[in-house]
Amino acid sequence: MRAHPGLTVVAAACLAVCASAAAAPLVAVQCGQLLDTQSGKLLGETTVLIDGKRITQLSAGKQAPAGATVIDLAGQTCLPGLIDSHTHLTGQTSPTAYSDQFRWNIADFAIRSTNYARVTLLAGFTTVRNLGDNANTSISLRNAINAGVVPGPRIFTAGKAVGSTGGHADDSDGYRADLMADYGPKDGIINGAADAWKAVRQHYKDGADLIKIMPSGGVLDESKSADNAQMTIEEIKAVVAAAHDYDMTVAAHAHGAEAIRRAVIGGVDSIEHGTYMSDEDMKLMKEHGTYYVPTIIAGKYVEGKAKVPGYFPPQVAVKAAAVGPLIQATAGRAYKAGVKIAFGTDAAVYPHGENAKEFGYMVEAGMPPLAAIQAATTHAAALLKQDKDLGSISAGKFADLVAVPGNPLSDIGLMTKVSFVMKEGVVYKQDSKPTPFVASLNEGVAPRDVDYGL
């Protein structure tokens, strides 16, 4: 069991009843209301029974089974733990971010990432898909969280992003010549199908859970275009074929219409950002079942910062001002066209912990509140291929539960006021306050993928 003082009360209550069977503690969470994200129905008073890490039963009304520790969430609406399908937990925007990378060591980023992980969890996001880091720091962060060393969401990580020379994944774009590097597949930079296979296999060796590719330009690198096509269909197909050999999905950062078209035809699982998505792209995405992860909040945030002199390098400011304002309208069009949407925010581009603001932006874009919440639960779980364990409050699934003070279907702003957070049966936040966390000091290395079925 992970040491966690949030469990002290539970454990104490369990001593007499549970010790003989050495069973995990039984917990009954009494929800004022409960949103069934599978049926889309808001249920009245419901008790969720939890045995260890998993939900065993849902019953109508306020139940208090013998031996169970009761958590009373009267007046609150329970939701499944939220899933952010696009984060970067090992960095964060700041006015000095571009120069920090020349002064900070990997350890400086890694230590800060533990704070970013904690605030993300406390905002109600019990699972994230981390889409790009440096030096595989997010793989180490995932392992530390799984081992109980630091608190944070369950992480499925892509490690370092994969792209082409001079493209959005090439970290030395914009540097002076003697600081530029000629990266190769080991660093995620590929030119040709053979490199693509090597890069994916290296990611598998490194311990990544999925693959992130950069088939189009991006906003925050210091090259010219945010939307040009930067990978061939052959390269994308090679990445996807290699990833599938290792049971990994592929997420594609793509702003431009041509890059989106190539990525969808190439077989990726999701398009990230999708700014200039054409009607033809949307049609293709529906045919291929490709998810769209809009990241509206990232667009809004960089649009604002592009107006602050010196916040971004000049080339980045130009792209941020052009791309930032467009994403929300694209999300609205895609939803209307029937493209499947998964919730994602590009956390790091804006400050970690503010992820839930995306819900309001999605509703502003034209999505009903229920659809926005399903994007962060059932749809995001399906995109991760983890719907067996995540995405709804159902018997057999992980006990990942959050609560908000009221009905989020009538006030989507409540999603930014998460008052209760439980992940795998452990309470991290109650009465809107974090519970104390005691780190596990001697867990060693957690096995990869334990419990997650990947």
| Chain residues in the site for Zn ion (CB under 5 A) | 346
**Nearer residue to Zn ion within complex by CB, 88 or 154:** 88
Q: What is the rounded distance in angstroms from the CA atom of residue 38 to the CA atom of residue 54?
A: 18
Smallest gap from residue 273 Cβ to Zn ion (A): 8
Nearer to Zn ion, 49 or 213 (CB): 213
Q: What is the 3-state secondary structure (H, E, C) of the chain?
A: CCCCHHHHHHHHHHHHHHHHHCCCCEEEEEEEEEEECCCCEEECCEEEEEECCEEEEEEECCCCCCCCEEEEEEEEEEEECEEEEEECCCCCCCCCHHHHHHHCCHHHHHHHHHHHHHHHHHCCEEEEEECCCCCCHHHHHHHHHHCCCCCCCEEEECCCCEECCCCCCCCCCCCCHHHCCCCCHHHCECCCHHHHHHHHHHHHHHCCCCEEECCECCCCCCCCCCCCECCCHHHHHHHHHHHHHCCCCEEEEECCHHHHHHHHHHCCCEEEECCCCCHHHHHHHHHHCCEEECCHHHHHHHHHHCCCCCCCCHHHHHHHHHHHHHHHHHHHHHHHHCCCECCCCCECCCCCCCCCHHHHHHHHCCCCHHHHHHHCCHHHHHHCCCCCCCCCCCCCCECCEEEECCCCCCCHHHHHCCCEEEECCEEEEECCEECCCCCCCCCCCCCCCCCCCC
Phi, psi (degrees; rounded to nearest 5) at 384: -75, -10
Residue number with CB closer to Zn ion (376 or 422): 376
Considering the complex, state which of residue 172 and residue 270 has its C-beta at the smaller distance from Zn ion: 270
Closest CB to Zn ion among residues 36, 272: 272
Least distance (Å) between residue 76 CB and Zn ion:
32
For residue 82, the minimal CB distance to Zn ion (Å) is 18
Closer residue to Zn ion, CB minimum distance, 350 or 420:
350
Nearest residue (CB) to Zn ion, 291 versus 420 = 291
Of 33 and 223, CB closest to Zn ion: 223
Q: How far is the CB of 7 from Zn ion (least distance, A)?
A: 34
Compute the least distance from the CB of residue 110 to Zn ion, in Å.
Answer: 19
The tokens for 305 are: 């910062």
Q: How far is it, in rounded angstroms, from Cα 150 to Cα 223?
A: 36
Question: Between 84 and 235, whose beta carbon lies closer to Zn ion?
Answer: 84
Query: Closest separation between CB of residue 431 and Zn ion, Å?
Result: 33
Residue with Cβ nearer Zn ion (37 or 130): 130
Length of the chain counted residue by residue: 454
Output 235 or 346, the one with its CB closest to Zn ion: 346
Residue 156 is encoded by which pair of tokens? 């499925």
CB-nearest residue to Zn ion: 346
Asked whether 27 and 71 are in contact (CB, 8 A), the reply is yes
The minimum distance between CB 355 and Zn ion, in angstroms, equals 13
Do residues 311 and 362 touch, judged by C-beta distance below 8 A?
A: no
Smallest gap from Cβ 40 to Zn ion, in A, equals 29
Minimum distance of Zn ion from residue 310's CB (angstroms): 23
Minimum Å distance from CB 357 to Zn ion?
A: 16
Q: How far is the CB of 388 from Zn ion (least distance, A)?
A: 27
Q: How many other CB atoms are there within 10 angstroms of residue 135's CB atom? A: 17
